[in-house]
Amino acid sequence: MKLDARLQAVLDFVPEGGAVADIGTDHGYLAAALIEEGRAEHVIASDLNLGPCEAARRTVREQNLKEQIEVRQGDGLTVLAPGEVQTACIAGMGGALMADILEAAPLVVRKLKVLVLQPMNGEYELRHYLYQHSWHIADETLVVADDRIYTVIRAEKGRRKMPDPLTLEIGPVLWEKKPELLRHHIESLLFATRRAAAGMEKSERAKKSAKYKKMKERIKALEERLVW
């Protein structure tokens, strides 16, 4: 099962052995690759909607993996029993929604050892939630797929000191490791902030607001992070 760079990065963060949940499985490609590459012994693939579940079941049949992969339709982690899997992968949705999914199944989350998360946006909210709830970022990476940079996060159990807000947005491990794509990542955050500030500059009232002042401070802080 050939994966794109985004899903391959998710797979690479999954520890070998044990049972894995693929939440929001879509076509089931990640679930199939987890078995075929020996990352998991058993996978529970789930999706909220019937269409993706049917597509995943088709992939499972075509790859002859019915003994190793079970497809369940349902909402997030609520399809799981506590302790049924050790690792949960959630990819292709917003970070705030991922936090909601974790919040909705506390008994399941309590038994998990590893979370592999690929947010489409809302990285700050997701990282903040993790640190607030006794998880921490053990590893992160940036990958390019479809001309877009994606963040992939591996979170593990254990309370750590909450990073400062800007580091939470950039990524604490990304900032520590300084991967090749980090400058592009920070520049994309800077571009979005400058664009929002430019919109506020059309209004004299907005330019005098505390929100605009904070935005200008954020631009300066991001510019400083481009130098190392």
From residue 8, alpha-carbon distances to 64, 94, 115, 143, 197 in Å are 21, 19, 15, 9, 36
In DSSP terms, 47 is beta-bridged to 73
* pLDDT of 182: 98
pLDDT band (50, 70, 90) for residue 1: confident
On whether the CB atoms of residues 75 and 47 are closer than 8 A, the answer is: no
The overall average pLDDT reported for the chain is: 96
d(Cα 212, Cα 98) in Å, to the nearest integer? 29
Residue ranges of domains in the chain, CATH in brackets: 5-160 (3.40.50.150), 183-225 (no CATH)
| Contact call for residues 5 and 22 (beta carbons, < 8 A) | no
Tell me the pLDDT band of 2, cut-offs 50, 70 and 90.
Answer: confident
Find the mean pLDDT for residues 20-49.
Answer: 96
Segment 92-128, tens digit of pLDDT: 999 999 999 999 999 999 999 999 999 999 999 999 9
Q: Where are the alpha helices (DSSP H) in the chain?
A: 5-12, 29-36, 50-62, 95-103, 106-111, 123-132, 165-170, 172-177, 182-200, 204-207, 210-225
Q: What is the DSSP string of 107-121?
A: HHHHH-SEEEEEESS
Q: What is the pLDDT of residues 35-61, one digit of tens each?
A: 999 999 999 999 999 999 999 999 999
For the segment 168-179, what is each residue's pLDDT rounded down to a tens digit?
Answer: 999 999 999 999
